[in-house]
Amino acid sequence: MRMLSLIAGKRKRQRRARPGTGLKALLRQRVEQQVADGVPRQAVYSELRTRSRAVLTDGTTPRPHLHANAYMAVADEVLHVMLDRNLQGERCEQEGRIDQAIRYYEANVADRFYGMRPYERLRLIYTGQHRHHDAIRICQAYLALSDKGNEPARETFRGHLQALLGETQSERGDRGVPTDWAAPQIAHTRQPRPPHLPTLSEEDP
């Protein structure tokens, strides 16, 4: 009986890893490298979703659903980081820790998060602090996003931007705002680069 127990235990230890584990580990490594290189998380997330759809239709990927699920699982992890920042920022606001909330929201602005939540919260915070240049920068950052789907929100931010520019112009003694100053001030944000995610030849599902 003892010998049978040892054999059974050995078989358990030799159980193969779940299919897709190798690919997900590789994808996580690549995501980490891309983020370190300054690629916005939103760009990485979008590329992972695109690859997930592509492997289902290219006709050359073995076990396409396995690959698609791996891409989507890692994409969800990338998205969760940004969504969690929004939640942490809201919690900090409720607790009166505004500077910490700003850091969470600004991190999502740097990652080009497509949702309007961090931009709207920062606009309100900066406007309330009379930091109009920062509020203008945030409005311009939202309008510079490649996502054009939420046109009502974009129109709202255009209105906020014009109001802020007008108010700042008034504060400057009606001398006018230089055209180079009024251009999008988003140089602090991460500039998107094409994510270099694993090719099918590199993947080890």
Total tally of structural domains belonging to the chain: 2
Q: Please indicate, yes or no, if residue 75 is contained in any of the structural domains.
A: yes
Q: Please indicate, yes or no, if residue 109 is contained in any of the structural domains.
A: no
Q: Please indicate, yes or no, if residue 8 is contained in any of the structural domains.
A: no
**What is the pLDDT tens value at each position of the chain, 205 positions in all?**
554 454 455 555 555 545 557 889 999 999 999 999 999 999 999 999 999 999 998 878 788 899 999 999 999 999 999 999 999 999 999 999 999 999 999 999 999 999 999 999 999 999 999 999 999 999 999 999 976 668 889 999 999 999 999 988 877 765 554 444 444 444 444 444 444 555 434 444 4
- The encoded tokens of residue 142 equal 């939202």
Q: Please indicate, yes or no, if residue 91 is contained in any of the structural domains.
A: yes
Same domain for 84 and 130, yes or no, is: no
Same domain for 27 and 83, yes or no, is: yes
The full 3-state SS of 25-88, as one line of letters, equals HHHHHHHHHHHHCCCCHHHHHHHHHHHHHHHCCCCCCCCHHHHHHHHHHHHHHHHHHHHHHHHH
Q: Please indicate, yes or no, if residue 138 is contained in any of the structural domains.
A: yes
**Domain range enclosing 30:** 19-96
- The encoded tokens of residue 149 equal 């789907």
